[in-house]
Structure 1
Amino acid sequence: MTIRCCFILHDGFSLITLAAITDAFFVANWQAGKSLYTWDTVSAHGGPILAFGNHAISTDPLETVSARKMDIVFAVSSFDPHGLANAPGVAGFLRAAHRFGARVVGLETGGVAMARAGLLTGREAAIHWANRDGFEEDFPDIRLSDAPVNRAGRCLTCAGGASAIDLALQLIEEDAGTDLARTVRIHLLYQQGRPETANSLTSGDSPLVTKAIALMTRHINDPIALPDLAEQLGSSQRTLERHFQKGTGHSPQAHYLALRLTRAQNLLQQTTLGIGEIAAETGFDSLPTFSRAYRNQFGLSPSQDRKQTTTASVPRLYV
């Protein structure tokens, strides 16, 4: 049996995420000696679609494929998830494909389109970690998973990047068995494992710093003073400062402020919340204080950053 797939693209998608799936499917076909998977690449209106590295992918109009005939439908977006979610015909196509029995998959930020289509309500989903803040604000009834790949019935979501290979191998194992999935993994030279998260990239090797960052992250809107933070961690302030300097290269106060401002930037770029609301959400008592801190961190005001990045959902600062 041939499994027919459809990839729905929107400008600014991740080429590596798309290629991770299609390359794995190609190898599966090759190793099986038959066309296990076929796929169409479409967009709302058809024509060339640009990945975020300016690589153009040719697509057919969405109306040229039938939701009824699809076995797997992939919603593929990265920097502009709402562009895909709001593109003409996309939400209806996703709902129809799911209703007719297809598996529907959101790649990287494609879960936003699935959420807009009502497919993830009350479920758990995975999304790229840089987009969690905006997603949680827009869809408070959808739980976000810490796992890079999540399945809820026939709805699958994937955080993107290398984890898309994990997803592809999971689909191949489900459709054609463990042996073929293992053969594909070996051919792709892929060592399965969980990708790093934002916190794991910034905490160094110190368990104390890791715990401190986790506590800071839970208290973005009500910041904890450094002495109280150290006390809650069972540490002295001096020890905490020394570990931060060694593990991150800067002080705990600077790291905490950067975490708050990164969340502020996420909310600016990924939601329609007012600037005053965002200031309060990130623990600033006044708008002037927030604007001054934001300008010091990013080199421009919150209102300028929002205007400059209306189509960019991924923050530029990684602390």
Structure 2
Amino acid sequence: MTWKDAATSDVVNAKAPSAVTRVALLLIPGFALMSYASALEPLRAANTLAGRTLYAWRHVSPDGRPVEASSGLVLDVDGGPGEGVSPDMLIVCAGGNPAAFDDAATFAWLRALARQGVVIGGVSGGPVILARAGLLDGHHATVHWEHAAAFAEDFPDVTLVPSLYQIDGRRLTCAGGVAALDLMHQVIAEAHGGELARAVSDWFLQAHVRPGSGGQRLAPRERLGISSPKLEAVVGAMEGQLEEPLGRAALARIAGLSLRQLDRLFSAHLGTSPERFYLSLRLDRARQLLRQSGLSATEIAVATGFASGSHFSRAYRQKFGVPPTGERRSRNG
């Protein structure tokens, strides 16, 4: 099994490494293709622009067989865990529902690589796999916002940061999507200098390289198409406090409005009341937890601000058409 690389003679003056960096990409079934490409393509571009092989890579799947991405595309791999793969860096690419992945052999292999000092990273849902292997305990880490609520509940020994990417010692975590381009810019810059990293970003038309501390999501203004700073402040407060929902009076104080004015603001911009909008946010969070965590329905009800399981179940069924237990059965097939 050979390490793949790509190099041409289009040279940028980069620092010479002592050796080629061997990168293994562990593809978990259902992995996000955008995140995978954003992690791999900068390495190929670095080789091309440097005119020599700085990085070589292999693809690995848990069973050594071709693996299907979330889009349905099937990728061939070079083998399974431990099959002649001795990387300097390993990146776990996952998506969909990474909390459902449970392969003891893969987790053991990841832990063995960590003991050997291998740099280990995860993109999109990849940090969930690393956390399940016990490799993020005591570390700062990030994960795609879709997985963040369940991650925080399931892995209290990991300091979860809502950032684009985190580099903490020999652990790299990335929220996924195009944020992997920003992460790899940093990785290439640290290994081979800023000039090459900037050339790689320019290659991919990345006019602005975001810092790791950048936020993952659009502000409520862009995401919801609202133009009122007062409404944006209230929505931000709601999103930040789902476990113990704020009362109407507290929301009105945040906006600097009367209760009646607050109602009119929500009706004019969002076509609903503050209470209904807040309830919808809490139920969306509950759905994420049901799909991606091992918490019981009762625990999820508490985590999303419901005083009773019966109220939670009724509200959930009204919005999604199934009770919480039905959602979990559907997830488990």
TM-score, scaled relative to structure 1: 0.90
Q: Verify the 8 A CA contact 1:76 1:109 in the aligned structure 2.
A: yes
Per-residue displacement from partner, 1:261-319 (whole Å, max 9, x unpaired)? 011111211222222222232222233322221111112111111111238xxxxxxxx
Q: Give 1:103's aligned residue.
A: 119
* 1:58 and 2:57 correspond: no
Q: How does 1:212-231 map to 2 (within 5 A)?
A: 212-231=234-253
**Equivalent residue for 1:49, pick from 67, 73, 76:** 67
TM-aligned CA deviation for residue 21 of structure 1: 1.6
Separation of aligned partners in 1, 2:285 and 2:158? 19
What are the ranges of 5 or more consecutive residues in structure 1 without an aligned counterpart?
312-319
Separation of aligned partners in 1, 2:127 and 2:257? 40
* 1:197 and 2:217 correspond: yes
* 1:177 and 2:196 correspond: no
TM-aligned CA deviation for residue 198 of structure 1: 6.3
Q: Verify the 8 A CA contact 1:10 1:83 in the aligned structure 2.
A: no
Separation of aligned partners in 2, 1:161 and 1:246? 33
Q: Give 1:188's aligned residue.
A: 204
TM-aligned CA deviation for residue 78 of structure 1: 0.9
TM-aligned CA deviation for residue 30 of structure 1: 0.7
How many residues align? The count is: 308
Q: Give 1:151's aligned residue.
A: 167
Q: Verify the 8 A CA contact 2:20 2:55 in the aligned structure 1.
A: yes
Q: Which runs of 4+ in 1 moved over 6 A?
A: none
Q: Verify the 8 A CA contact 2:142 2:162 in the aligned structure 1.
A: yes
What are the ranges of 5 or more consecutive residues in structure 2 without an aligned counterpart?
1-18
When residues 134 and 253 of structure 1 are mapped into structure 2, their CA distance, relative to the original with a 3 A threshold, is: same
**Equivalent residue for 2:328, pick from 306, 310, 314:** 306
**Equivalent residue for 2:274, pick from 240, 252, 265:** 252
* 1:120 and 2:139 correspond: no
Separation of aligned partners in 2, 1:154 and 1:247? 46
Separation of aligned partners in 2, 1:198 and 1:263? 17
**Equivalent residue for 1:93, pick from 74, 86, 109:** 109
Q: Give 1:314's aligned residue.
A: none
Separation of aligned partners in 1, 2:76 and 2:311? 47
TM-aligned CA deviation for residue 19 of structure 1: 0.7
Q: Give 1:316's aligned residue.
A: none
User: How much is the aligned-residue C-alpha RMSD, in angstroms?
Assistant: 2.0
TM-aligned CA deviation for residue 196 of structure 1: 4.6
Q: Verify the 8 A CA contact 1:203 1:209 in the aligned structure 2.
A: no
When residues 157 and 137 of structure 1 are mapped into structure 2, their CA distance, relative to the original with a 3 A threshold, is: same
TM-aligned CA deviation for residue 203 of structure 1: 6.8
**Equivalent residue for 1:26, pick from 44, 62, 66:** 44
Counterpart amino acid of residue 179 in structure 2 = S
Q: How does 1:268-283 map to 2 (within 5 A)?
A: 268-283=290-305
Counterpart amino acid of residue 21 in structure 2 = I
* 1:238 and 2:260 correspond: yes
Per-residue displacement from partner, 1:91-121 (whole Å, max 9, x unpaired)? 2222222222221111111111211222211
Separation of aligned partners in 2, 1:163 and 1:13? 15
**Equivalent residue for 1:80, pick from 87, 97, 121:** 97
When residues 219 and 283 of structure 1 are mapped into structure 2, their CA distance, relative to the original with a 3 A threshold, is: same
Per-residue displacement from partner, 1:137-162 (whole Å, max 9, x unpaired)? 10112111121111111101000001
Q: Verify the 8 A CA contact 2:62 2:80 in the aligned structure 1.
A: yes
SS of aligned partner of 2:82: helix
SS of aligned partner of 1:217: helix
Counterpart amino acid of residue 146 in structure 2 = A
SS of aligned partner of 2:332: coil
When residues 195 and 219 of structure 1 are mapped into structure 2, their CA distance, relative to the original with a 3 A threshold, is: closer
SS of aligned partner of 1:104: strand
Which deviates more, 42-51 or 223-232? 223-232
When residues 178 and 249 of structure 1 are mapped into structure 2, their CA distance, relative to the original with a 3 A threshold, is: farther
Separation of aligned partners in 1, 2:267 and 2:219? 16
Counterpart amino acid of residue 30 in structure 1 = T
Q: Verify the 8 A CA contact 2:61 2:81 in the aligned structure 1.
A: yes
Q: Verify the 8 A CA contact 2:97 2:291 in the aligned structure 1.
A: no
Q: Give 1:317's aligned residue.
A: none
Q: Verify the 8 A CA contact 2:162 2:216 in the aligned structure 1.
A: no
SS of aligned partner of 1:151: strand
SS of aligned partner of 1:31: helix
TM-score, scaled relative to structure 2: 0.86
**Equivalent residue for 2:306, pick from 271, 284, 303:** 284
What is the percent sequence identity of the aligned residues? 35
Q: Verify the 8 A CA contact 1:208 1:240 in the aligned structure 2.
A: no
